[in-house]
A and B are shown apart, each in its own frame.
Chain A
Amino acid sequence: MSATTTRVRAIYRKELREYRRDRSIIATMAAIPLGIVVFPLLLVIALPASAANSLQGDPLVILLGIPALVPSIVAGYAVVGERVQGTLEPLLTTAIRREELLLAKALAALVPSLAIAYAMYAGFVICTKLFAQPAVASVVLHWPYVIAQVLFTPLIIMWSIWVGIAISTRSSDVRVAQQLGALAGLPVLLVAYLISFNVIHMTLGLALGIAVVLLVLDGLGWRFVAAAFDRERLITNTK
């Protein structure tokens, strides 16, 4: 195992252990997705078959709020959390490179966020299949949309993570960093709603275009956050 892999793995495992034992993070990461998924799910289940075609907007697209918002909880904590509890200095005196540190923290935010988002999708799809009128289910479960969301989810999560970490490196308060990170996810939600209500008409070409843009933004996000990660400023708060 290379030194980079060993170091990334060490931070990744540490992060997951910390998140698992932080009740406020667990509670927030559970509450946000449930808050997002409950309303569209109830709407779909309660809708009579006769009204299936009158369904306005695509409830499934609204679930894109989960990958947009959930990662900001852990990503916002990533750097400022270390600063607040005084663990950043010992961490930065080891041989770990900033790219390795950020990658490990991003992976540690990606894995639970991805698991939650996919679990919510799966739950939504299963509940719709089981409890919604078949006519409603066939309108809602538009398979190209389902597949598009499965593909978009990690890309949106990564974007949300880099924005969250970028804010975390500049912030001195965990809650402020998390709230600002969540705000940064709102444009994604806005686009999702515009697609859901057919203000933006989704085509295969547009979907691919958005995916490519997100992919590029994710790559740039890592580079940008790594470049902006200044050990001296983080330790002394003077620059």
Chain B
Amino acid sequence: MKRSGPALSVQNLSKRFGDRVAFEDVTFEIDYGEAFGFLGPNGAGKTTTVRALSTLISPTSGSATVAGIPLAPENGERIRQSISVMPESPGLYLRLTVAENLECFAGLYGLSDARQSVDRVLRAVNLAERDNEPCGKLSKGLRQRVSLARALLNEDADVIFLDEPTSGLDPAAAREVHDLIDGLRQRGVTIFLTTHRLEEAERLCDRVALLNTTLRAVGKPDELRERLFAKTLTVRTLAPIPDPDWVFGGLPAVDGWRQDGTGTYMLTVSDPAVAAPHVTRALVASGADVLSIAESRHSLEDVYLELIGEDTEAVPQ
């Protein structure tokens, strides 16, 4: 079904608990089918934002629409019917089996054929064979998968909120969850992913927002890199170039250069695709023994550290 308008629209949203600011003046929009990463250190307000958008807590000020429905107490039931939330902690009934946990939530989502829906989501998270196991006997990674399966139960969900879905998981289990989320993304499900794992956001999200109580930036990872960092080419030669100014000076798209160690030169360029061939030809013409010419790529971690700073308790992973 073609849906109009954004899946999530947030305008100047703020939440305070007494004197403590959880998040403030947050504004962004997410389109249907988009995977949106919400990044920030611990205590930045990510989980509180998810709770506000899923009607668990009331914002102090600002407005939002969730799946086209205005965020207001009287719309709580409609909004919650239109979303799914995977909280940071799996929150499973440990005495019940996997299937019993999911059957309960299938009923809460008003699904007519609970058993069929449970089978569907269990297949989606590769747990079909373990439906009769008590959740208390599952590993942490498997519990996260059951939690994800529970979020997938709501067939009416226009937006799925995933709050730190790989928190506390070992790399193998985290990769499994990544693959499942990637599968959702491929199917065009709108995903709101909060995380402080930068590589997770970079891999899974179309756009990201950086939050540290206030929103620091919103955009595609590449856009944020471009916005914050000059583009550079890194040139490595076997021996230092005798007269680098003569080689690099005046080349198209090359704005400047600096030497960074013996035989390594960092060139500030306006367009790497234009600059690189000219730089290569100039180096060859000068007789330099070229080892490599590569575009320097700033990671999302560089963007994060630039915007959030190092005054945070979270260490990017």
Contacts and interface: CB of A to CB of B under 8 A. Distances in A.
Interface of A: 3, 6-7, 9-11, 13-14, 17-18, 21-22, 85-97, 231-232, 235-236, 238
Interface string B28-55: 0000000000000000000000010011
A6 B91 CA distance: 21
Contacts of B110: 3, 6-7, 95
Contacts of A18: 93, 95-96
A91 B91 CA distance: 9
Contact of A91 (B78, B94, B108): B108
A17 B94 CA distance: 11
Contacts, number: 93
A232 B103 CA distance: 26
A6 B107 contact: yes
A11 B104 contact: yes
A96 B109 CA distance: 8
Contacts of A9: 107
B108 A85 contact: no
A10 B106 contact: yes
A94 B56 contact: no
Contacts of A85: 91, 93-94
Interface in B73-125: 77-78, 80-81, 83-85, 87, 89-96, 100, 103-110
Contacts of A97: 77
B108 A235 contact: no
A125 B93 CA distance: 39
Given A93-B54, A93-B83, A10 B91 contact: no
Contacts of A94: 80, 105, 108-109, 154
Contacts of A236: 17, 51, 57
A95 B58 CA distance: 16
Output the residue of A11, A22, A95, A232 with the most chain B CB within 10 A. A95
- Helix, strand, loop or mixed for chain A's interface? helix
Contacts of A95: 77-78, 80-81, 108-110
Nearest to A96: B108
B194 to A, nearest CB: 14
A42 B41 CA distance: 66
B87 A93 contact: yes
Contacts of B103: 10, 13
B108 A10 contact: yes
A14 B104 contact: yes
Contacts of B77: 95, 97
B207 interface: no
B108 A7 contact: yes
Contacts of A90: 85, 87, 91, 105, 147, 150
B113 to A, nearest CB: 12
Contacts of A17: 95-96, 100
A6 B92 CA distance: 20
